[in-house]
Structures are given as C-alpha cells and as structure tokens.
C-alpha cells in the first residue's frame, strides 16, 4: 500500500523556505512579493515552482531561480526541484501580500 504523501504539510515547508529568500532590491521575501505563482509536488516528491521576477531584466534573473531550487532541495522530503520562470501574467504590485505592502509603506 502506498503511503499518502502529505502535500499540504510539504507545501507549508516549501513556503517557509521561500519566505527565507529575499529580492535583493526590496526588503521583502519572494513569497510575500507575489513572485511565486504555483508550487506543485508530485508523488515522487519532485517539486515544480512556477515563479516570476519583478522585471524581465531583473539583476537576479539567473541567480534567484537557482537559489530557490537549491534551498527547496534542502528539505529532506524533496527529491528534486525545478523552477520555471514566467512573465505571464506579468508581475504587478497588486500581487504583493498586505504584509509586503505594509513593509514597503504602500498601505
């Protein structure tokens, strides 16, 4: 009998990891900024993260996805992690959490 993987619990762990990664130009983590569009976990514990950047020519366009992959892979349950960058829909400040807006003095 297959063990049911607790994707919600793993998802929460992944979110905690994502909240430890900051945009170098904005003192807010990438999760609260709304840069993470989707986190998918399959039964093989492979994680796929769909994310965006604040701008297509973001200075960390190369390093940030790698940092996300590397940090998510540090979770024991995660076998592999792939980050896909998309600009559809493009990031806007509307995607930021209330917490991020408050942090940046936008509320």
Would you say 10 and 75 are in contact if contact means Cβ atoms under 8 Å apart?
yes
Q: Is residue 12 part of a domain?
A: yes
Query: Considering the entire predicted model, what is its pTM?
Result: 0.89
Query: What pLDDT is stored for residue 107 in this prediction?
Result: 83
The token pair that represents 26 in the structure block:
């904005």
Q: Is residue 1 part of a domain?
A: no
Q: Is residue 2 part of a domain?
A: no
Q: 89: cis peptide before it, omega within 30°?
A: yes
Count of domains observed in the chain? 1
Distance CA 25, CA 35 (A): 14
CATH number for position 80: 3.30.300.130
**Tens of each residue's pLDDT in the chain, 107 residues:** 345 567 788 999 999 999 999 988 888 999 999 999 999 998 899 999 999 998 888 888 889 999 999 999 999 999 999 999 999 999 999 999 999 999 899 98
Which residues constitute the domain of residue 12? 7-103
Contacts of 82 (CB under 8 A, 6+ apart): 46, 47, 48, 49, 69
């Amino acid at each position: 009998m297959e063990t049911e993987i607790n994707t919600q619990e793993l998802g929460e762990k992944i979110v905690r990891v994502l909240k430890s990664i900051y945009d170098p130009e904005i003192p807010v983590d990438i999760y609260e900024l709304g840069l993470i569009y989707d986190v998918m976990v399959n039964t093989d514990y492979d994680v796929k993260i769909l994310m965006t950047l604040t701008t297509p020519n973001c200075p960390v366009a190369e390093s940030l996805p790698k940092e996300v992959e590397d940090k998510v892979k540090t979770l024991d349950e995660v076998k592999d992690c792939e980050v896909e960058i998309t600009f559809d829909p493009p990031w806007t400040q509307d995607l930021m959490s209330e917490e991020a807006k408050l942090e940046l003095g936008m509320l």
